[in-house]
């Protein structure tokens, strides 16, 4: 069993006919993901990748029974695409678009309030449940079905950690890239809680980075839940200079908040094992799972 996605997930793709979507949706189809259609305003009634194209999300949902949407829409129009999906009642919404304007994301968060939609992203690699479904741009090359849940703010580190977990003989239940933007949907804390409740996830890896307060909120959730499952965390950016944006809008440390040290201290206090560097995450999880079984 995976979190967020399953074999019953039926996906539509907003912006299906664009170049990036064409490439990555082709990969998703090859992987076995149930992509049932796409949405490109003005191209309704056509077909792309042998999939039906609709003018609106509401039409696509009505015709295909879709219960998930993947947004491949340029940054200046991504918020409107997300809001359209939210209003259409899509349960799972994944946005891979980078550089969505901050104030646009405030509008999206307002639309999410009271809705039935769970948003992942923007600036997300997506969700990967090995041998079940892939939504987004995440590499599947090193993925293997297993018992470790991975949630990450960092795209590049996600691929490295997935490969380590596979080499350790553990595999992944689900890997979730929540994105690194300062205003986003699913949080580290919410994802950790989903993994704690998932019977097929035996260990959890949390990949954080400087900026924001996601890691501190995750620490609070872990301290409250006191899960028996081992949790290993890596926090990137220990040596990043303050008041300088590193990579993207979310990776920004101020004088008062967002530093790697603050995040590490909070996670340690909640009982999380902290990986000293990126090379040891998979090995630490293997050892932690071994210890928990004895």
- CA pair distance 80, 84, nearest whole angstrom: 6
CA distances from 212 to 121, 151, 248, 257 (A): 15, 16, 12, 7
- Active-site annotation holder among 24, 48, 184, 248: 248
Length of the chain: 294
- CA pair distance 135, 90, nearest whole angstrom: 15
CB 107 within 8 A of CB 84: no
Token pair for 188: 């580290």
Active site residue 248: yes
- H helix intervals, the chain: 19-31, 57-64, 75-87, 102-112, 155-167, 188-197, 214-225, 260-269, 281-292
Of all residues in the chain, what percent are helix, strand and coil, respectively (each to 5)? 35, 20, 45
Cis peptide before 78 (omega within 30 of 0): no
The H-or-E segment that residue 92 falls in is strand 92-95
CA distances from 278 to 144, 156, 163, 207 (A): 19, 11, 12, 9
List residues with catalytic annotation.
248
């Amino acid at each position: 069993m995976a979190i967020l996605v399953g074999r019953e997930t039926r996906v539509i793709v907003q912006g299906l006919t664009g170049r990036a979507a064409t490439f990555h949706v082709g990969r998703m189809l090859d992987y076995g993901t149930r992509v049932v259609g796409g949405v490109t305003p003005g191209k309704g009634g056509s077909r792309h990748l042998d999939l039906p194209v609709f003018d609106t999300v509401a039409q696509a949902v009505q015709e295909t029974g879709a219960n998930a949407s993947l947004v491949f829409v340029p940054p200046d129009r991504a918020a409107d695409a997300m809001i359209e999906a939210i209003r259409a009642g899509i349960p799972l919404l994944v946005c891979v678009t980078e550089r969505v304007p901050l104030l646009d994301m405030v509008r999206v968060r307002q639309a999410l309030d009271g809705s039935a939609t769970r948003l992942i992203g923007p600036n997300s690699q997506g969700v990967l449940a090995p041998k079940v479904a892939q939504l987004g741009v995440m590499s599947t090359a090193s993925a293997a079905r297993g018992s470790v849940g991975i949630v990450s703010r960092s795209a590049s580190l996600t691929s490295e950690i997935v490969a380590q977990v596979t080499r350790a003989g553990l595999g992944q239940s689900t890997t979730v890239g929540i994105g690194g933007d300062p205003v986003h949907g699913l949080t580290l804390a919410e994802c950790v809680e989903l993994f704690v409740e998932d019977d097929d996830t035996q260990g959890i890896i949390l990949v954080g980075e400087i900026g924001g307060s996601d890691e501190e909120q995750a620490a609070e959730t872990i301290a409250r839940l006191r899960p028996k499952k081992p949790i290993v965390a890596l926090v990137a950016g220990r040596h990043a200079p303050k008041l300088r944006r590193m990579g993207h809008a979310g990776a920004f440390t101020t004088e008062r908040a967002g530093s790697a040290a603050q995040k590490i201290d909070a996670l340690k206090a909640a009982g999380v094992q902290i990986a000293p560097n990126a090379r040891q995450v998979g090995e630490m999880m293997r050892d932690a799972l071994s210890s928990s079984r004895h």
